[in-house]
């Protein structure tokens, strides 16, 4: 397995059915069924919104700091088995505060698991606070202000939830507050929305990374900007299949084109409990599709590390691991790993 950084995973999207059932029982939350197969069968979608409806519904079981700790620990343990060496994990605080769960409960539970990542799994990890588009710009600004007392628990701010109808321009104030605090900035754009959403994320929010970005390929000028400015795209192939935001066959996915175009693309899992897999499952599915060479899997791993917000020292350490893995496989060392700490 190539050592990688996971840069696009929503912690709420790692809620597997067995944990969902256990937390529902512990917190006396009534689910539509207590049969795991019935619950699992609901994990079938035809659009981003159809998925989000279930994703928000299931969050009702997360109530205590211990719940958030267990959710995050379960993810980190699974991620370590997927070859993840560094994780930047999204969380959606508004989806919890809206239900009456205090922000501190969410942040302290997640942070506790993250604080154990190094010792338990040899991984580094951090949190990125995501703002929910469907609640609008004012709510986003309020959320980021309310989160500032917890500033040391997260490294960046992101933007997620329903994309169409909620362009990045609505969130300029929230992102300006985040920028003034020295937070990293990322946003989902070009998942369902067109290239104009990606332009706005870059020009109006000043994002350093674009989450998904698939539809950027429809705009040659935008692609040139992404390439020249080395803006990473965090691509989620199994998510795209599940939400029908890409062709039905992985063999027809845009990822090889992104690499051929020299874009800084890497592979991630988005909501692995809902979309059929963690980082290793995404890689296995791409491998089965037969459209990438082993060298390209190495490039994807190196890209994920270069695109992360890890310290320069940590990036150098992880790129050295990629280099060693390439040498062990007898394939070309990815250029980013050759350059190592200079990236």
Cβ-based nearer residue to ligand ADE, 160 or 280: 160
Q: Is 184 annotated as a binding residue?
A: no
CA dist., res. 211 & res. 36, Å (int)? 31
CB of 236 vs ligand ADE, minimal distance in Å: 7
> What CA–CA distances, in Å, run from 326 to 119, 263, 302?
26, 21, 11
CA dist., res. 3 & res. 304, Å (int)? 9
Q: Residue 161 binds which one of ligand ADE, Zn ion, none, with CB within 5 to 8 A depending on kind?
A: ligand ADE
Closest residue to ligand ADE in the complex (CB):
160
Q: Is 46 annotated as a binding residue?
A: no
Interface with Zn ion by CB under 5 A: which range of 31-39, 99-107, 268-276, 283-291?
Answer: 268-276
User: Rule CB under 5 A: is residue 270 a binding residue for Zn ion?
Assistant: yes
CB of 86 vs Zn ion, minimal distance in Å: 18
Q: Which residues bind to ligand ADE, rule: CB under 6 A?
A: 10, 13, 48, 55, 160-161, 188, 191, 239, 270-271
Cβ-based nearer residue to ligand ADE, 47 or 296: 47
CB of 174 vs ligand ADE, minimal distance in Å: 16
Cβ-based nearer residue to ligand ADE, 10 or 315: 10
CB of 160 vs Zn ion, minimal distance in Å: 6
> What are 247's two structure tokens?
């062709």
Q: Is 188 annotated as a binding residue?
A: yes
Greatest C-alpha distance within the chain = 54
CA dist., res. 99 & res. 161, Å (int)? 17
User: Rule CB under 5 A: is residue 280 a binding residue for Zn ion?
Assistant: no
> What are 105's two structure tokens?
């409960």
- Determine which one of 88, 191, 192, 317 is catalytic: 191
Q: Is 192 known to be catalytic?
A: no
Closest residue to Zn ion in the complex (CB):
270
Q: Residue 48 binds which one of ligand ADE, Zn ion, none, with CB within 5 to 8 A depending on kind?
A: ligand ADE
CB of 277 vs ligand ADE, minimal distance in Å: 14
**Is the separation of the CB atoms in 75 and 123 below 8 Å?**
no
Cβ-based nearer residue to ligand ADE, 13 or 167: 13
Cβ-based nearer residue to ligand ADE, 190 or 334: 190
Cβ-based nearer residue to ligand ADE, 192 or 317: 192
Q: 3-state SS of the chain?
A: CCCEEEEEEEHHHHCCHHHHHHHHHHCCCCCCCCCHHHHHHCCCCCCHHHHHHHHHHHHHHCCCHHHHHHHHHHHHHHHHHCCEEEEEEEECCHHHHCCCCCHHHHHHHHHHHHHCHHHHHCCEEEEEEEEEHHHHHHHHHHHHHHHHHHHHHCCEEEEECCCCCCCHHHHHHHHHHHHHCCCEEEEEECCCCCHHHHHHHHHCCCCCEEEECHHHHHCHHHHHHHHHCCCCEEECHHHHHHCCCCCCCHHHCCHHHHHHCCCCEEECCECHHHHCCCHHHHHHHHHHHCCCCHHHHHHHHHHHHHCCCCCHHHHHHHHHHHHHHHHHHCCCCCHHHHHHHHC
**Is the separation of the CB atoms in 167 and 200 below 8 Å?**
yes
Q: Residue 14 binds which one of ligand ADE, Zn ion, none, with CB within 5 to 8 A depending on kind?
A: none
CB of 159 vs ligand ADE, minimal distance in Å: 9
Interface with Zn ion by CB under 5 A: which range of 18-26, 41-49, 118-126, 265-273?
Answer: 265-273
Q: Where in the sequence numbering do the catalytic residues fall?
A: 191
Binding site for Zn ion (CB under 5 A): 270
Give the residue numbers of the binding site for substrate. Answer: 271
Give the residue numbers of the binding site for Zn(2+). Answer: 8, 10, 188, 270
Give the residue numbers of the binding site. Answer: 8, 10, 188, 270-271
């Amino acid at each position: 397995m190539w050592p990688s950084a996971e840069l696009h995973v929503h912690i709420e999207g790692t809620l597997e059915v067995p944990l969902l059932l256990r937390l529902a029982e512990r917190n006396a939350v009534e689910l539509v069924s207590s049969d795991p197969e019935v619950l699992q069968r609901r994990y079938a979608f035809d659009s981003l919104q159809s998925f989000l409806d279930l994703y928000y519904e299931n969050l009702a079981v997360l109530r205590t700091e211990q719940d958030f700790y267990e959710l995050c620990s379960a993810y980190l343990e699974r991620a370590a088995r997927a070859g993840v060496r560094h994780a930047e994990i999204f969380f959606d605080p508004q989806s919890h505060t809206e239900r009456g769960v205090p922000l501190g409960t969410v942040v302290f539970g997640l942070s506790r698991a993250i604080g154990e990542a190094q010792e338990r799994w040899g991984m580094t990890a951090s949190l990125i606070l995501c703002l929910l588009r469907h609640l609008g710009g004012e709510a986003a600004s309020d959320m980021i202000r309310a989160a500032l007392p917890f500033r040391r628990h997260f490294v960046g701010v992101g933007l997620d939830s329903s994309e169409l109808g909620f362009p990045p321009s609505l969130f300029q104030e929230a992102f300006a507050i985040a920028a003034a605090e020295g937070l990293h900035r990322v946003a989902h754009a070009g998942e369902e929305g067109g290239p104009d959403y990606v332009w706005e994320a870059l020009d109006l929010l000043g994002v350093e990374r674009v989450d998904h970005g698939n539809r950027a390929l429809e705009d040659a000028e935008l692609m040139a900007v992404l390439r020249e400015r080395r803006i990473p795209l965090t691509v989620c192939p199994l998510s795209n299949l599940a939400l029908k935001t890409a062709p039905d066959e992985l063999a027809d996915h845009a990822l090889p084109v992104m690499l051929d175009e020299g874009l800084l693309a890497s592979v991630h899992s988005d909501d692995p409990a809902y979309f059929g897999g963690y980082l290793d499952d995404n890689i296995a599915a791409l491998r089965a599709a037969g459209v990438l060479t082993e060298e390209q899997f190495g490039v994807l791993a190196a890209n994920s590390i270069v695109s992360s917000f890890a310290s320069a020292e940590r990036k150098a350490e992880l790129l050295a691991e990629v280099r060693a893995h390439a040498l062990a496989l007898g394939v070309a060392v990815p250029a980013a790993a050759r350059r190592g700490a200079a990236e």
